[in-house]
Amino acid sequence: MGSKNKLKRFNENDTFDNVIQPTREEVVNGFQWKGKWNSFFKNDNPIILELGCGKGEYTIALAKKNPNINYIGVDIKGARFWRGAKTAIEDNMNNVAFVRTQIELIDLIFAENEVSEIWITFPDPQIKYKRTKHRLTNHDFLKKYNHILNEEGVVNLKTDSEFMHGYTLGLLHGEGHEVIYANHDVYKNQGAPEEVINTQTFYEQQYLEIGKAITYIKFKIRF
């Protein structure tokens, strides 16, 4: 994507009511919507997050199917989620928002028990050992997710990375978390939830074209 096109998208994001782009200082010093997201949406509906949402395909697809649930895509790359934000506006979807921030700040964006469910779709697996702290399912991230999820809250991980799938399963079992469902090839093995196989991200379509297996885990965090 050219810099001119990126700039255009950044500028357009600034005009979208469904896009929030706080500075790090604003987040650290008391984010305005923390604990008040139902006021933002003007309802008391459940809140579901898509972390590292990219173009926001899951945020949009799930929000269309479930108009009585609020969906929030979180990503640091605003030029990517511009597509999802624009689609939500064009389709008059009032249950969608996007936040441009780093995922490690997630517990400063949402209050304790404020979130009902989390989707992590095709994250960077951060395979090198020195990148362990950046894996979105490591111990520290799970602690943050556990803080913002309500008592019945669940996490969904969908990835093309066998490494990420195996690493996450190992960590979940090792720490005593509850694995509700796991599938190492959702398109070949029956039983995957409808929302897993009926929504495909831009990158997922590319992976499928070259024959990569798509894996999925649904789990509850038990600290």
Residue 152 sits in a domain whose CATH number is 3.40.50.150
The CB density around residue 166, as the number of other CB atoms within 10 Å, is 12
Beta-carbon count within 10 A of 31 CB: 19
Phi, psi values for residue 146, rounded to 5°: -60, -35
How high is the pLDDT of residue 113?
Answer: 98
Measured between alpha carbons, how far is 108 from 117 in angstroms, rounded to an integer?
17
Query: 3-state class of 11 per DSSP?
Result: helix
Which of the residues 124, 140, 160, 185 is marked catalytic? Answer: 124
- So what's the pLDDT on residue 8? 85
Which pLDDT does position 2 carry in this prediction? 64
Contact 138, 168 (CB under 8 A): no
pTM for the whole structure? 0.95
**pLDDT for 220:** 98
* Counted domains in the chain: 1
- Between CA 120 and CA 124 the distance in angstroms is 10
pLDDT value for 99:
97
Name the phi and psi angles at 115, rounded to 5.
-115, 140
Intervals of the chain under pLDDT 50 = none
pLDDT for res 172: 98
> Is position 14 annotated as part of the catalytic site?
no
Residue entry with tokens 């996490």: 155
**Sequence-separated (6 or more) residues with CB below 8 Å from residue 88:** 18, 56, 60, 63, 96
Cβ proximity of 198 and 205 under 8 Å: no
Q: Where are the alpha helices (DSSP H) in 91-161?
A: 106-109, 139-148
pLDDT, residue 7, reads: 86
Which domain, by its residues, includes 67? 3-220
Total residue length of the chain: 223
Instruction: With beta carbons less than 8 A apart as the criterion, state whether 33 and 102 touch.
Output: no
**pLDDT for residue 6:** 86
